[in-house]
């Protein structure tokens, strides 16, 4: 592994004006546009490799792509108003795909460390369907070894019968999509819930005693003002949730909001990036004043140990992740891959092939190192010892040029312990992460 710095890595463009619309958040490396069908063989090879991987944490992601309505800002694969037959068929296919993965030589017999049920809206399934899904997962992968089992819920469908099933099945973390506590802002964003639904859901969740509850907020929604945003945050602080996550609105080209803006159908444009960051900065300050610790570029926790987000932390440190379901993403044995992105093709592919892999990207050792470095920066920093022991590199030497420029901007500090982001750096981390990309991965479209 080379320890020389790439001289052409710099921060040029980091201070250029940022458009309201477009992709922003860095959730993977290399960018999705680098993935291809031609590399699918690498995914199969990684799964068939019989070398022991027991020392590497294994996680599961199960994508439930159904919603009551699609939110205006949503860029995830989802389908509105499914029938009971559609959701039943999907659960059957999901469990078939999961079972097939469990039999792969590189997976068989391994214990599961973390599980995440995401969407879409997983809680849109009925209590009976959730029970069948969880029973099916546990039949294939016993979950008694899992440090975390997380389930996303929407306020309207976080009902007593569903929550009882989740708690009895061993779900340890509920993530509730609040977004904002203002009915007008929620309506303008296409959310179907209202403030009263959040209050009811919060009361129900509290009764069931889940170890960790996370409340999701968003900054920059259509119709949002400083007053609406911080009034929402004040109520969230009163609730006293273990974790609070605040996402900054992103408007990729595949969202209804993007098209509405293009067609000039939005009366009040969303906040620009400077305003969104200003709100997040002030929100972090208020959370810290109430005893929270900032644990990432988006999240604060009351107890950093009890409130750990294993699903995120483990992935950012190189864990294997098996994603099942339409359009789901996996990272296994140093290979990224994604499933078919249409529901019909997904169902057909699993039925015909036993899997639904669409495209893949095999990472070299160096690319795996860069991936973990940029993702760990989203958690606030990277330890020098970790990268020295795992990859044989000195972060200070390997990334000397971009680290120096980012430090001059006041976004991070570098010392013998590693790299640590400042608050200003944390607020704009996704903006400058491409600075650390390998040359062949820069200036690529994200998708």
Residue 17 shares a structural domain with residue 129: no
Contact criterion met (CB below 8 Å) for 332 and 43: yes
Within-domain flag for 57: yes
Q: Residue 1 has what pLDDT?
A: 32
Owning domain of residue 274? 34-314
Phi, psi of 214 (to 5 degrees): -110, 135
Residue 293 shares a structural domain with residue 428: no
Phi, psi of 316 (to 5 degrees): -70, -15
Q: Which positions ≥6 away from 16 have C-beta within 8 Å?
A: none
Phi, psi of 420 (to 5 degrees): -130, 125
Q: Residue 77 has what pLDDT?
A: 67
Q: Residue 266 has what pLDDT?
A: 84
State which of 271, 288, 314 marks the end of a domain: 314
Residue 88 shares a structural domain with residue 19: no
Distance CA 419, CA 78 (A): 37
Residue 66 shares a structural domain with residue 108: yes
Within-domain flag for 248: yes
Residue 38 shares a structural domain with residue 168: yes
Per-residue pLDDT of the chain (447 residues; tens, 9 = 90+): 333 333 344 455 566 667 777 777 888 999 999 999 999 999 999 999 867 677 899 999 999 999 988 777 676 667 889 999 999 999 999 999 999 999 999 999 999 999 999 999 999 999 999 999 999 999 999 999 999 999 999 999 999 999 999 999 999 999 999 999 999 999 998 889 999 999 999 999 999 999 999 999 999 999 999 999 999 999 999 999 999 999 998 887 777 778 788 888 888 888 899 999 999 999 999 999 999 999 999 999 999 999 999 999 999 999 999 999 999 999 999 999 999 999 999 999 999 999 999 999 999 999 999 999 999 999 999 999 999 999 999 999 999 999 999 999 999 999 999 999 999 999 999 999 999 999 999 877 666
Task: Tell me, rounded to whole angstroms, the distance of Cα 442 from its chain centroid.
Answer: 22
Residue 164 shares a structural domain with residue 187: yes
Within-domain flag for 375: yes
pLDDT tens-digit series, residues 201-225: 999 999 999 999 999 999 999 999 9
Q: Of 278, 283, 316, 273, which is closest to residue 424 (Cα–Cα)?
A: 278
What distance, in Å, lies between the first and last C-alpha atoms of the chain? 29
Residue 209 shares a structural domain with residue 287: yes
The DSSP bridge pattern shows strands 114-119 and 58-64 to be: parallel
Within-domain flag for 120: yes
Within-domain flag for 350: no
State which of 298, 314, 330 marks the end of a domain: 314
pLDDT tens-digit series, residues 252-292: 777 777 878 888 888 888 889 999 999 999 999 999 999 99
Residue 148 shares a structural domain with residue 293: yes
Residue 203 shares a structural domain with residue 276: yes
Q: Specify the number of domains making up the chain.
A: 2
With b for 16 or more beta-carbon neighbours within 10 A and e for fewer, the 54-84 pattern comes to: eebbbbbbbbbbbbeebbbbbbebbbeebee
Q: Of 284, 277, 405, 381, which is closest to residue 18 (Cα–Cα)?
A: 277
Beta bridge partners of 149: 115
Within-domain flag for 345: no
One-letter-per-residue 3-state SS of 76-143: CCCEECCCHHHHHHHHHHHHHHHHHHHCCCCCCCCCCCEEEEEECCHHHCCHHHHHHHHHHHHHHCCC
Residue 279 shares a structural domain with residue 382: no
Within-domain flag for 353: no
What does R_g of the chain's alpha carbons equal in angstroms? 21
pLDDT tens-digit series, residues 228-237: 999 999 999 9
Look up tokens 């904002």; give the residue. 180
- CATH number of the domain to which 156 belongs: 3.80.30.20
Q: Residue 7 has what pLDDT?
A: 34
- CATH number of the domain to which 376 belongs: 1.10.10.920
Q: Residue 8 has what pLDDT?
A: 42
Q: Can you give the pTM of this predicted structure?
A: 0.93
Q: Residue 291 has what pLDDT?
A: 97
Q: Residue 105 has what pLDDT?
A: 94
State which of 314, 346, 379 marks the end of a domain: 314
Contact criterion met (CB below 8 Å) for 303 and 17: no
Within-domain flag for 340: no
Distance CA 216, CA 245 (A): 5
């Amino acid at each position: 592994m080379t320890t020389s710095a790439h001289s052409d890595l710099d921060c040029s463009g980091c201070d250029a004006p940022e458009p309201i619309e477009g992709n922003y958040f860095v959730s993977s490396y290399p960018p999705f546009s680098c993935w291809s069908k031609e590399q699918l063989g690498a995914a199969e090879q990684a799964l068939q490799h019989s070398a022991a991987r027991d020392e590497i944490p294994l996680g599961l992601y199960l994508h439930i792509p159904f919603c009551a309505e699609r939110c205006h800002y949503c860029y995830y694969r989802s389908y509105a108003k499914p029938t009971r037959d559609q959701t039943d068929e999907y659960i059957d296919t999901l469990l078939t795909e999961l079972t097939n993965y469990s039999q792969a030589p590189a997976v068989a017999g391994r214990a599961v460390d973390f599980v995440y049920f995401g969407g879409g809206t997983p809680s849109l399934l009925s209590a009976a369907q959730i029970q069948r899904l969880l029973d099916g997962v546990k039949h294939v992968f016993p979950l008694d070894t899992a440090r975390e089992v997380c389930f996303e819920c929407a306020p309207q469908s976080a009902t007593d019968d569903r929550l009882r099933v989740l708690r009895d099945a061993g779900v340890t973390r509920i993530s509730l999509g609040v977004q904002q506590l203002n009915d007008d802002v929620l309506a303008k964003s296409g959310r179907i819930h209202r403030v009263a639904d959040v209050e009811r859901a919060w009361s129900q969740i509290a009764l069931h005693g889940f170890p960790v509850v996370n409340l999701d907020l968003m900054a920059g929604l259509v119709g949002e003002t400083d007053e609406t945003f911080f009034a929402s945050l004040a109520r969230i602080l009163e609730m006293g949730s273990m974790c609070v996550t605040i996402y900054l609105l992103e408007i990729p080209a595949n969202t209804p909001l993007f098209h509405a803006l293009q067609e000039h159908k939005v009366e009040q444009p969303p906040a620009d990036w400077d305003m969104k960051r200003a709100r997040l900065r002030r929100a972090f300050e208020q959370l810290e004043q109430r005893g929270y610790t900032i644990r990432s570029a988006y999240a604060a926790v009351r107890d950093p140990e009890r409130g750990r987000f294993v699903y995120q932390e483990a992935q950012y440190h190189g864990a294997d992740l098996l994603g099942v379901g339409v359009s789901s993403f996996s990272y296994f044995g140093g290979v990224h891959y994604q499933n078919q992105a249409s529901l019909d093709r997904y169902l057909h592919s699993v039925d015909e092939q036993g899997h639904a892999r669409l495209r893949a990207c095999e990472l070299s050792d160096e690319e795996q190192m860069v991936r973990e470095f940029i993702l760990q920066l989203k958690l606030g920093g990277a330890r020098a010892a970790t990268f020295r022991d795992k990859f044989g590199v000195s972060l200070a030497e390997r990334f000397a040029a971009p680290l120096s420029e980012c430090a001059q901007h006041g976004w991070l500090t570098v010392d013998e312990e590693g790299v640590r982001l400042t608050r200003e750096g944390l607020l704009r981390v996704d903006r400058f992460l491409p600075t650390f990309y390998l040359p062949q991965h820069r200036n690529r479209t994200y998708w």
